[in-house]
A and B are shown apart, each in its own frame.
Chain A
Amino acid sequence: MNDEKQLLDDLSRREYKWGFVTDIESETVPPGLNEDVIRLISARKSEPDWMLEFRLRAYRHWLTLTEPTWQKVKFPPVDYQAISYYSAPKPKKKLGSLDEVDPELVEAYEKLGIPLSEQKRLAGVAVDAVFDSVSVATTHQEKLAGMGVIFMPISEAVQKHPDLIRQYLGKVVPYTDNYYAALNAAVFTDGSFVYVPKGLKCPLELSTYFRINAENTGQFERTLIVADEGAYVSYLEGCTAPMRDENQLHAAVVELYAHTDAAIKYSTVQNWYPGDENGKGGIFNFVTKRGLCAGDRSRTSWTQVETGSAITWKYPSCVLKGDDSVGEFYSVALTNNFQQADTGTKMIHLGKGTRSTIISKGISAGRADQSYRGLVRMGKKAHGARNFTQCDSMLLGDKCGAHTFPYIESHNSSAQVEHEATTTRIGADQIFYCNQRGIETEEAVGMIVGGFCREVFQELPMEFAVEAQKLLSVSLEGSVG
């Protein structure tokens, strides 16, 4: 028992390896939010008038909203006037090629294990690196452009492909959607834009790496991915932040738009700074993510591994509008110390024969609190639609909590919905079984947790699966239920 306690204590003291701060000269606007700040952001990005109009409409709508309070997480009120809404590393000169990226930035990303130079480890992955408010580098752009794939910072896409942006921006997550989506629409600074043309299976994994560096800033990125008819794209997202005592807000919006026969796979390994063992500091990760299966037989898939953030509060969702379209959600969420997570998904079945799968695995340790909250709605016309949901929770320690709040609404008799959930801890018998066969307790826990999460990990692209496994083993070092 003492060993177990010791191991649990070790777990709570695990270190966050990505907590360094890069000393880089940035241009940061003073804290505060008003129409002038929005005009400034828009001007800084040399945006066309319609974009500024979009931002201002969103801002004016945001002013009419109040912060939601229904979520099962507690946090001190966010002072939206104390946040700086724009921070960018000062460019030394106009970039000609990737080799000219500020060496300090390259070094920062090297430290994070994200090489910006093309030949390195992730050779099969194109990376868009977002540092605070702006995208600093996008790799493999030429190769992708040759195939007709557009992969660039969204701010650049506003200039180069205004028609596409106007056509799709805010179509899946309108600024009226919720409080944070409205805020994001008003002040978003950068993010990635992906367009995969008809019939193309994008041969590279596309990836964005988000990094918050500057103090007292929020990160509001916006990602828009469009897969035209018959196209396929796999997109990865990673994120880290320095260790700070103050909470920082991250309110992103991700929109996926899949046309007929198209498929989009979106994977996240979220590792924002979770705060220290006393719950001080950390990122508030309040994100709106939604995929629209607009065309028949289209598919959107969310895979997420959530180990960071003081608070994770998001519901990557799928709107299954096209007939026979498919939505998937695979999630592993690990919370430790004072971390809180209220996460899950929504599957809105509108078309005939639509199918969705939800696999959610929650692991709670320390004094963490975690909830799965999900909605499965079978619309009136969703004939023969199917959903299967499984959400399992594992508790490590007796001070943490694990909760499940599924909402299941069925308006069609031929639709089938199944939901099941379990909550357990690692049994002493399981540990004993492993010990008996010469496996140390720590390793046994790793194995059992690995097995618990396997269904989700196997959905991740190769590089990410390795990273996720590593992340989980670091996070769980020495834990015993």
Chain B
Amino acid sequence: MNSLTQWLETPTGRESWKYSDPAPLTGDRFAPFAAPAPPAGDLPLLPACADSRRLVFWNETCLADETAGDDRSSGMTIAALTKDRAAPGLGTLATDESGTIADLNNRNRQETLHIHLEDGAAPDRPLELVFVTDDRSSDRLVAPRVLITAGGGSRAVIIERHLDLGRDPVLNVPVVEVLCGPGSDITHLKWLGNGPDALHYGGTFVRQDEGSRYVSREFVLAGHRVRREMHLHLAGPGASCILAGLTLASGLRHTDVRTRVYHDVPGCTTDELYKGILIDRGQSVFDGLIRVAPDAQQTGAYQTNRNLLLSDDAVSYSIPRLEIYADDVKCSHGSTTGQLSAEEMFYLRSRGFDEMMARRLLSYAFASEVVDQVEHPGLREELTASIQQILDKVPS
């Protein structure tokens, strides 16, 4: 019995996995690569990318820096670190104690991609990291690791994408650590378009210094079993974070989004909005915690979770939690679960939409609250198309 299995037996471990199955993480079906696997054969074809700098990873190895070059002077440096090379900050947030996912990644990662932004750096293009697996990764455990260190006053948009193109399951355990320096402004977009059989258990660990802003927009659109964890520490006064997410679960898919936001110091704000659309026998879990430490006064924290059930067999679990130890705070959360409003349906039906059209339109409108906030126009269009494609298959 390993330490993970033991931890899962503790009350904390059981509570942490109350609604999801940790079995893929504890079993021995998925083996890590023994060494950084060099690319063999051709790369899968990816959709063209208009205006971002794109790095493609096959499993954990960076294959191509497709559009590098002209922003070397922008203050951003990218380096691949081998397992034995340390970088300042690496592993300080995703420690072995910080939960199952970090622990697994720490034990199995091969290389770490280190993205460093110098003080005041502001690359004019987003940086896109595309993690691809294919048939050659079948039954493998893939543990990509990214460390982002943002210097004081730097700004950047990072896009993290996961694609599983193979037919057989792969176990993805990616971990991203983000250290936001004072006054930095980081936008982090995450798009999970994993294959239908993929298992994805990923974590993002963030620490924010004074006056920094971190924006996370997360889209979980595919994958058989998905768990996304966000651990965020607001460690400097005046820091703010915006966390938004959209989950679409259809078929037999199970998605689990877990956020842990720690207000460690006064004067920080959190704004959280997570939405879920459940189709067929899809299941979703949202478990969000905002903890306000003693003396973290003048905290503003808002958390919203909305779930739309489009089928009778869909299931949603929502656990919005607040843990508050300071009195001069404004904190609230809200959670709703239900189906499309009969009145809205009637409104559209009375204007000539058939039932199916009306349902799709309203479902898309539900999703668009999160999608419309994506600042990057090219990506927004791509996301819109993907979501529409899924919603178009919804039976009426």
Q: Does A430 contact B (CB under 8 A)?
A: no
B319/A405 in contact, CB under 8 A: yes
**Contact flag A419-B324 (CB < 8 Å), given A70-B11, A409-B315, A413-B314:** no
**Contact flag A407-B314 (CB < 8 Å), given A417-B335, A425-B327:** no
Contact pick for B315, options A69, A404, A405, A411, CB 8 Å: A411
Q: How far is the CB of B77 from chain A (nearest CB, A)?
A: 43
Residue-wise interface mask of A (406-426) relative to B, using a CB-CB cutoff of 8 A (1 in contact, 0 not): 111111111111111111110
Which single residue of chain B is at the shortest CB-CB distance from A401?
A: B325
Q: Which of B69-126 contact A (CB under 8 A)?
A: none
Q: Does A399 contact B (CB under 8 A)?
A: yes
For A406, list chain B residues within 8 Å (CB): 318-321, 335
Spot the interface stretch: A79-87, A257-265, A390-398.
A390-398
B327/A420 in contact, CB under 8 A: no
A399/B294 in contact, CB under 8 A: yes
For A405, list chain B residues within 8 Å (CB): 319, 321
Q: Does A115 contact B (CB under 8 A)?
A: no
Q: Does B21 contact A (CB under 8 A)?
A: no
Which single residue of chain A is at the shortest CB-CB distance from B302?
A: A422
Residue in A397, A399, A481 with the greatest tally of chain B CB atoms within 10 Å: A399
Q: What's the tally of chain B residues with a CB closer than 8 Å to chain A?
A: 37
Which single residue of chain A is at the shortest CB-CB distance from B287?
A: A407
Q: How far is the CA of A375 from the CA of B220 in the complex (A)?
A: 26
Q: Does A403 contact B (CB under 8 A)?
A: yes
**Contact flag A400-B11 (CB < 8 Å), given A420-B332, A420-B333:** no
Q: How far is the CA of A422 from the CA of B309 in the complex (A)?
A: 26
What is the interface residue range for chain A against chain B?
Answer: 35 or more
Q: How far is the CA of A378 from the CA of B297 in the complex (A)?
A: 37
Which single residue of chain A is at the shortest CB-CB distance from B327?
A: A395
B328/A398 in contact, CB under 8 A: yes
For A70, list chain B residues within 8 Å (CB): 11, 15
B339/A419 in contact, CB under 8 A: no
B320/A425 in contact, CB under 8 A: no
Residue in B309, B318, B325, B327 with the greatest tally of chain A CB atoms within 10 Å: B327
B327/A408 in contact, CB under 8 A: no
**Contact flag A423-B309 (CB < 8 Å), given A409-B315, A410-B337:** no
Q: How far is the CB of A401 from chain B (nearest CB, A)?
A: 4
**Contact flag A408-B317 (CB < 8 Å), given A70-B15, A417-B337, A421-B332:** yes
Q: Which of B11-28 contact A (CB under 8 A)?
A: 11, 15
For A393, list chain B residues within 8 Å (CB): 324
Q: How far is the CA of A418 from the CA of B325 in the complex (A)?
A: 25
Q: How far is the CB of A410 from chain B (nearest CB, A)?
A: 4
Contact pick for A413, options B312, B326, B327, B331, CB 8 Å: B312
Which single residue of chain B is at the shortest CB-CB distance from A364?
A: B327
Q: Does A187 contact B (CB under 8 A)?
A: no
Q: How far is the CA of A413 from the CA of B337 in the complex (A)?
A: 8
Q: Does B311 contact A (CB under 8 A)?
A: yes
Q: Does B66 contact A (CB under 8 A)?
A: no
**Contact flag A416-B327 (CB < 8 Å), given A403-B321, A405-B319, A405-B321:** no
For A404, list chain B residues within 8 Å (CB): 320-322, 333
Q: How far is the CA of A393 from the CA of B322 in the complex (A)?
A: 10
Q: Does A294 contact B (CB under 8 A)?
A: no
For A400, list chain B residues within 8 Å (CB): 325, 327
For B310, list chain A residues within 8 Å (CB): 413
For B309, list chain A residues within 8 Å (CB): 410, 412-413
A423/B317 in contact, CB under 8 A: no
For B339, list chain A residues within 8 Å (CB): 413-414, 416
Which single residue of chain A is at the shortest CB-CB distance from B334?
A: A420
B327/A403 in contact, CB under 8 A: no
For A417, list chain B residues within 8 Å (CB): 318, 335-338
Which single residue of chain A is at the shortest CB-CB distance from B338?
A: A416
For B317, list chain A residues within 8 Å (CB): 407-410
For A415, list chain B residues within 8 Å (CB): 337-338
A409/B316 in contact, CB under 8 A: yes
For B321, list chain A residues within 8 Å (CB): 403-406
Q: How far is the CA of A416 from the CA of B311 in the complex (A)?
A: 13
4 more contacts with CB within 8 A, not counting A398-B295, A410-B338, are A395-B324, A395-B327, A422-B332, A424-B330
Partner-A contacts on B (CB < 8 A): 11, 15, 278, 294-295, 297, 307, 309-312, 314-339
In the assembled complex, 13 residue pairs joining A and B whose CB atoms fall closer than 8 Å, in A order, are A70-B15, A378-B337, A393-B324, A395-B329, A401-B325, A404-B322, A410-B315, A412-B309, A414-B339, A416-B336, A417-B318, A419-B320, A421-B334
